[in-house]
Chains A and B, each alone.
Chain A
Amino acid sequence: MGDFDANTRFEHLLRLADTNLILGHRMSEWIGKSPILEEELALTNIGLDLIGQARALYEHAVAVSGEQSNRDADDLVFLRDAPEYKNLLLVERENGDFAHTMVRQLFYSAFAVPVWEALTRSVDTEVAGIAGRAEKESLYHLRHASEWILRMGDGTEESHRRAQEAVNALWMYTGEMFDMDDVETAALEAGHGVDLTEVHEEWENTVREVLTTATLDYPEDCWMLKGGRTGKHTEHLGHLLSDMQFLQRAYPGQKW
């Protein structure tokens, strides 16, 4: 192991970028239907941050990793089918109700903060730079999600029930985040990656603190679904892509 060639490097950057892009797109689906005006601004701003982080990573991946088929960042986003996407399963889940969206955000941001923090020490200085800014943005998202979980969990009977249901429903998609497979291991050994077992510990502490403060139950260990990072996705991703990619599929090469 430890062979960190151009393909593996590209794959590693793509995983990071795809996860941010897909969650960013999910956030954009709230436009026009958020519960209150302030949340409309918040959800779209979070989406903007995530898509911006993804864009920087795609452009960097294309620039340094010898993209084989000459695709640029837009091609990667608009012309790949689901099996070529390497995002985490958690972020492709449909938005559901507001509690679902916020719990998903808590689970992801609590993961993203330590991941970006570790990547600020990447030997790839461009990634370290992107990570430095993304870490602070993710902290902001984490705080926002945490405050909502607190309000909902420790709010009314209805909001508590919905928040707990979201926690229970999304839990099986969290295990995949910490899986050190060959690509993650090779990246870590080459100084480009993150020790996800260390991240797991910090994630558990953060999530446990927020859920407990919000009077919600921290779920027990259960079977975890995996596959996103290797292109095995749930049905939800295909529907998302058909929406996001419609314009380029129907009118190839069309520009704004």
Chain B
Amino acid sequence: MVATPIQSRADELLERAKAVLDQVCDPEIPVLTIRDIGILRDVRMDKDGTIEVVITPTYSGCPAMGMIAIEVELALAKAGIDAHRVSLRHSPPWTTDWISDDAREKLRAYGIAPPNKGSNSKRALFSNEVIACPKCGSGDTEKISEFGSTACKAHYRCLSCREPFDYFKCI
């Protein structure tokens, strides 16, 4: 089938929207894009030519979600794509397993220990995971607090290099 000029213009617009959205970063973790982190679920075009961006919340109470929706709209508007809509989807639920390997490495380089993989094995009540220090790589670390500076992080300390660090909570 040969694409009509209208179709190919629509395809071009969609591709451009995707490229723009690939540059949108998480406001709390600026080294990661919202695609890296798994927040950006889908970019598609409606019959009437509106770009629909589907995002999914990470932690239920993450206050950055509102900001992320605004940044998505802003990025599209700046690129001249005015007909757009952001919608929130809860199903399937976001999990840290969706964070790409590449993004995990970026997190580590930024000083945040990436989440362990396998988010579904957390039934043990008094278990302690081994978290490697993002600075020196040592596994000799201790948990300071289950909860840290944002909804997605816990607080740890390295007993080898003595650095305190954030750990991206695994859910």
B171 and A38: CB pair below 8 A?
no
**B119 interface residue, CB < 8 Å from A?**
yes
In the assembled complex, the Cα of A60 lies from the Cα of B90 at a distance in Å of: 10
**A170 interface residue, CB < 8 Å from B?**
no
Q: Which residue in B59, B93, B122 is a CB contact (below 8 Å) of A49?
A: B59
What are the interface flags for B35-78 relative to A under an 8 Å C-beta threshold, 1 for contact and 0 otherwise? 00000000000000000000001011111000000000000000
In the assembled complex, the Cα of A128 lies from the Cα of B91 at a distance in Å of: 7
Which stretch, B6-14, B26-34, B132-140, B146-154, touches the partner chain A? B146-154
A143 and B126: CB pair below 8 A?
yes
Q: Which residues of B contact A132 (CB under 8 A)?
A: 91-93
Q: Which residues of A contact B160 (CB under 8 A)?
A: none
User: In residues 140-193 of chain A, which contact B (Cβ within 8 Å)?
Assistant: 140, 142-144, 146-147, 150
In the assembled complex, the Cα of A42 lies from the Cα of B95 at a distance in Å of: 21
Name the distance in Å between B69's Cβ and chain A's nearest Cβ: 13
B90 and A126: CB pair below 8 A?
yes
Q: Which residue in B60, B63, B119, B171 is a CB contact (below 8 Å) of A56?
A: B60
In the assembled complex, the Cα of A37 lies from the Cα of B63 at a distance in Å of: 21
Q: Which residues of A contact B117 (CB under 8 A)?
A: none
In the assembled complex, the Cα of A201 lies from the Cα of B84 at a distance in Å of: 49
Question: Which B-chain residue is minimally distant from A38 (CB atoms)?
Answer: B145
B59 and A133: CB pair below 8 A?
yes
B146 and A143: CB pair below 8 A?
yes
In the assembled complex, the Cα of A41 lies from the Cα of B169 at a distance in Å of: 14
In the assembled complex, the Cα of A49 lies from the Cα of B60 at a distance in Å of: 5
Q: Which residue in B144, B146, B149, B171 is a CB contact (below 8 Å) of A133?
A: B171
Name the distance in Å between B96's Cβ and chain A's nearest Cβ: 9
Q: Given A45-B151, A52-B62, A136 and B146 touching (CB < 8 A)?
A: no
A210 and B125: CB pair below 8 A?
yes
Q: Which residues of A contact B57 (CB under 8 A)?
A: 52, 56, 133
Which size bracket describes the interface of B in this complex?
20 to 34
Q: Which residues of B contact A136 (CB under 8 A)?
A: 95, 119, 122, 171
Q: Which residue in B62, B90, B125, B147 is a CB contact (below 8 Å) of A130?
A: B90
Q: Which residue in B60, B91, B95, B169 is a CB contact (below 8 Å) of A125?
A: B91
Q: Which residue in B62, B92, B126 is a CB contact (below 8 Å) of A146?
A: B126
B93 and A133: CB pair below 8 A?
yes
Residue in A24, A45, A48 with the greatest tally of chain B CB atoms within 10 Å:
A45
Q: Which residues of B contact A133 (CB under 8 A)?
A: 57, 59-60, 90, 93-95, 171
**B16 interface residue, CB < 8 Å from A?**
no
Question: Which A-chain residue is minimally distant from B65 (CB atoms)?
Answer: A52
User: In residues 87-104 of chain B, which contact A (Cβ within 8 Å)?
Assistant: 89-95
Could you give 13 example pairs across A and B, Cβ below 8 Å?
A46-B147, A49-B60, A60-B90, A126-B90, A126-B91, A130-B90, A132-B93, A133-B60, A134-B60, A136-B122, A140-B146, A140-B171, A146-B125
Q: B residues touching A (Cβ–Cβ < 8 Å)?
A: 57, 59-63, 89-95, 119, 122-123, 125-126, 144-149, 151, 155, 169, 171
17 A-B pairs besides A136-B171, A139-B122 with CB distance below 8 A are A41-B149, A42-B145, A49-B59, A50-B60, A52-B62, A53-B61, A125-B91, A126-B91, A132-B91, A132-B92, A136-B95, A136-B122, A140-B146, A140-B169, A140-B171, A147-B126, A206-B125
